[in-house]
Amino acid sequence: MIQDIPYIDRTTLFEHYHGILLDAFGVLVDKQGPLPGAIDLIDSMNAEHKPYFILTNSASRLPETMEQHYQQQGLNIPLERIISSGMLLQGHFREQELIGARTLVLGPENAQEYARRCGGEVVSDTDGEVDVVVIADQAGYDLLEQMNRTMSLILRQIDAGKAPHLVLCNPDIIYPISTGQYGFTAGGLAAMLNAILAERYPGEAFAFHPLGKPHAPIFREGVSRIGSNNVVMIGDQLATDIKGANDFGIDSILVGTGLSGQKKTSASARPTWQTLSLELQA
């Protein structure tokens, strides 16, 4: 863990903060199941009516699917406590006047359903021109083939003066599968396409609009639902959970599970607190 960062215990957490935001993968669960302290913390927050929300960059599963999955793992997290990056598409489509837009979604069926629910007309890259390209997840399609087609589609349309609106639900570039095992995510795919766009069109503002952590939209939604700025974010990733919370102006807790393990951090990604796990033993 990081030197000179104080450890936080359960009592301090509950007494000091009005509401709690938690990352999912690497904090509550990994591919093997619930992480230490996760079930007990969720049960305690439910029993004490402590306001909390799960802030997940995942856009591969609908909230109701997540709720069922959590329940099966012993995590009693109700539907209304889940905020996913996919859910933020609705507000983004409304703000950008994209209702009814022909939308290409990279991701599984649940990711496409997110786009439908926010008013997008989900189409294929073979259906001609598209208005919006959404990178929701790295799974659910032939990765190399789909990325080649998507890149070609974007470049053709930009060259023809018909640039599509580009949206990235999950800015994470890596996620923890289990101890010592990692996978890359949608953010890595968008980073690659952004690099191509920057090289091909220098000085032009062609890039994916990010919705999930570390960017403001998902934190704004969580803080708004809690109804207070006296909120803390618990996460395992310095670059997304911690920096995102700090940039938004709320406190943060680095948990020593998931992708945590760094001994040093920049000032912008320095957590307020740290803990080895959600067991929250000082």
Digit-coded pLDDT (tens) for 95-124: 999 999 999 999 999 999 999 999 999 999
Identical fold, 10-57+213-275 and 88-210: yes
* pLDDT score of 258: 72
* pLDDT score of 73: 95
Structure-block tokens of residue 209: 């609009």
Helix (H) or strand (E) holding 165: strand 165-168
Structure-token match 């709320």, residue found: 250
* pLDDT score of 259: 66
**CATH architecture of the region 88-210:** 3-Layer(aba) Sandwich (3.40)
* pLDDT score of 11: 95
The list of the chain residues with pLDDT below 70 reads 176, 178, 259-265, 282
Minimal CA–CA distance to 19: which of 188, 262, 230, 237?
Answer: 230
CATH of domain 10-57+213-275: 3.40.50.1000
For residues 139 and 112, give the distance between their C-alpha atoms in angstroms, rounded to a whole number.
Answer: 12
For residues 7 and 253, give the distance between their C-alpha atoms in angstroms, rounded to a whole number.
Answer: 9
- 80-104 as b/e, with b when 16 or more CB fall inside 10 Å? ebbbbbbbbbbebbeeeebeebbbb
For residues 146 and 86, give the distance between their C-alpha atoms in angstroms, rounded to a whole number.
Answer: 20
For residues 26 and 36, give the distance between their C-alpha atoms in angstroms, rounded to a whole number.
Answer: 11
Q: Please state the domain extents for the chain.
A: 10-57+213-275, 88-210
Note whether 103 and 121 are within 8 A (CB).
yes
Structure-token match 């959590």, residue found: 70
Note whether 168 and 190 are within 8 A (CB).
yes
**Angle at CA 124, nearest 5°, toward 120 and 126?**
140
CA 143 to the chain's CA centroid: 20
* pLDDT score of 127: 80
